[in-house]
Amino acid sequence: MATATVALVWDAYSHYRFSTAIVLAVWLLSNYKRVLSFVSLFDKTSAKKNDQLLTQIHNKWFDLSSFNHPGGPVALSLARGRDATALFESHHPFLPRKKLLQILAKYEVVSKEVELQCTLMNPRDDGSPYDWKDIDKDGFASELRLLVHDYFSDIAKKSGVSLNQASKATPARWLVVWSFLGLFFASLPTFIQGSWVFLVVTPILAWLAVVNYWHDSLHFALSSNWRINAWLPYLLPLLSSPWMWYHHHVIGHHAYTNIGHKDPDLAHAPQLMREHESIKWRPHHLNQASFSNIFFIWSIAAGLGLNLLNDIRATLKLTYNNVVPYERASSLGTAAHVLGRLIYIYVTFLWPFFAFPILKAFIWATVPNAIFSICFMINTQINHLCGPCALASSSNFYKHQVVTAQNFGNGSLFCYYFSGGLNYQIEHHLFPTINHCHLPALSEGVKRICKKYDVPYNHVSGYKEALAEHYSHTIKMATKPQT
């Protein structure tokens, strides 16, 4: 009897998946407050109540625990126990420099008792790669800030909003975001039913949906409402756990782009690939440029790499790729994080084995993940790991963001939408909290300022040239260094 009941339920579910999805969607909308309360458990970056939030900025310590940050507790808590100078510099493009420093000064640690508690989670995280002396008077940085201030002042006045609100997603951008999300979710019933066409279509739609909202959201660039930025990534966490992404991407990669032993993107799989001189050369790197090797690594990078192996290693070691440490979460937070990863494993790898014959199940569990992962790698490896910028550097933080990045296909709608705006990588690294929809308009001004200060502005025509640049760099890094 029990077996027959289970079979009946499963048969009903199999025939009415779409109806089930609609009922679930209605329930989620009607109980959204409970859902958001539960989802917030997964976000372990929320500021701790009644706890000190000590951070170091420009060699001074600050206690920000009582600061009601406009960007919300998530953004603020990324600075806890770190040298947050780079985060501070790149996340506040609008406020006048003098006013910004005046606000910060209110929270400076002056108590000797509190000062004794001021320690960095990682002693090497001291802001040393950059020379911050006289940064307030730096012409390059000042003109960049003036550029964005003037651009968004016009938008803010016309729309009757603040500069911060003006820099987030426009109604047109939200239409793009919801359109891609809608197309992806609309494709799921056919994908789940085993359509061979949607075996390819659905993961591409998943990529378009994720890259056009998820990345901006976790940079606090989607909305001026911090809750939307914090919670919406949990709708489709296919690239990584949002918790890990903050550490890997926002804290690590953006602050220390292409700096060895500081940028976690340089050491995702050093045993398999060597894309930077800071990675120890191994004999098997000689074959890293083979198409079979690249295809294999690119196929598993997002699914097995970012979502599982890197996550497990970071959770156990409390440091992402050995360069970005973080605090141990509460038991409830850890349980929520693990639950989130188990759900990811089920919905991306396991469910086909309950729905299809073994061969088709294996195809459904691997091919969509591979397609999604390859889309991710195509749009990320060409931004920093290429000849002109992979080994470039500058002691000036803002110039460093420019010389270590490469734009591609500027002006191309295909490049723009397929990369989610990542083809304006230089502007994104200079202004990470500004939504990608504004970057094309800012690019000409950035290019002009770079030319004035003799800062290389790396740009190639499109994917073909960008991929060729990256491949040439991969070949170069496969060669054993001369001792």
pLDDT tens per residue, range 122-141: 887 777 789 998 888 899 99
Q: What angle do CA 264, 223, 147 make, to 5 degrees?
A: 80
How high is the pLDDT of residue 125?
A: 79
Least confidently predicted of 11-15, 149-153, 214-218? 11-15
Residue 378: pLDDT over 90: yes
**What proportion of the chain, given as a percentage, has pLDDT over 90?**
73
- What residue type is assigned to position 8 of the chain? L
Residue 370: pLDDT over 70: yes
Q: At what angle do helices 198-211 and 358-384 cross, to 10 degrees?
A: 40
| Max Cα–Cα distance, the chain, nearest Å | 80
pLDDT average, residue stretch 329-335: 86
Task: Find where tokens 């359509």 sit.
Answer: 195
pLDDT band at 5 (very low <50, low <70, confident <90, very high): very low
Residue 11: pLDDT over 80: no
- For residue 276 the two structure tokens come to 């930077």
pLDDT band at 117 (very low <50, low <70, confident <90, very high): confident
Choose between 67 and 4: higher pLDDT. 67
Alpha helices in 301-351 (DSSP H): 310-317, 331-345
Least confidently predicted of 72-76, 86-90, 183-187, 324-328? 324-328
Choose between 482 and 45: higher pLDDT. 482
pLDDT digits (tens, 9 = 90+) for 292-323: 999 999 999 999 999 999 999 999 999 999 99
Residue 44: pLDDT over 80: no
pLDDT average, residue stretch 388-403: 95
Residue 274: pLDDT over 90: yes
pLDDT average, residue stretch 76-80: 92
Residue 16: pLDDT over 80: no
Residue 187: pLDDT over 60: yes
Least confidently predicted of 104-108, 120-124, 278-282? 120-124
Choose between 154 and 15: higher pLDDT. 154
pLDDT average, residue stretch 74-84: 92
How high is the pLDDT of residue 19?
A: 45
Residue among 211, 235, 198, 239 nearest 364 (CA)? 198
- For residue 272 the two structure tokens come to 């398999």
How high is the pLDDT of residue 38?
A: 45
pLDDT average, residue stretch 452-472: 97
How high is the pLDDT of residue 95?
A: 80
Structural domains of the chain ordered from first start: 2-42 (no CATH), 50-128 (3.10.120.10), 166-478 (no CATH)
**What proportion of the chain, given as a percentage, has pLDDT over 70?**
89
Neighbours of 121 (CB within 10 A): 15
- For residue 288 the two structure tokens come to 């890293």
Residue 13: pLDDT over 90: no
pLDDT band at 202 (very low <50, low <70, confident <90, very high): very high
- Decide: 420 and 218 in contact? Cβ < 8 Å: no
DSSP 281: P
pLDDT average, residue stretch 365-377: 98
How high is the pLDDT of residue 141?
A: 94
How high is the pLDDT of residue 253?
A: 96
Secondary structure class of 256 (helix, strand, coil): coil
Residue 30: pLDDT over 70: no
pLDDT average, residue stretch 236-251: 94
pLDDT digits (tens, 9 = 90+) for 441-450: 999 999 999 9
Mean pLDDT (the chain) is 88
Tell me the C-alpha distance between 209 and 203, whole Å: 10
Distances (CA, A) of 437 to 166, 173, 206, 216: 11, 7, 20, 10
- Decide: 370 and 300 in contact? Cβ < 8 Å: yes
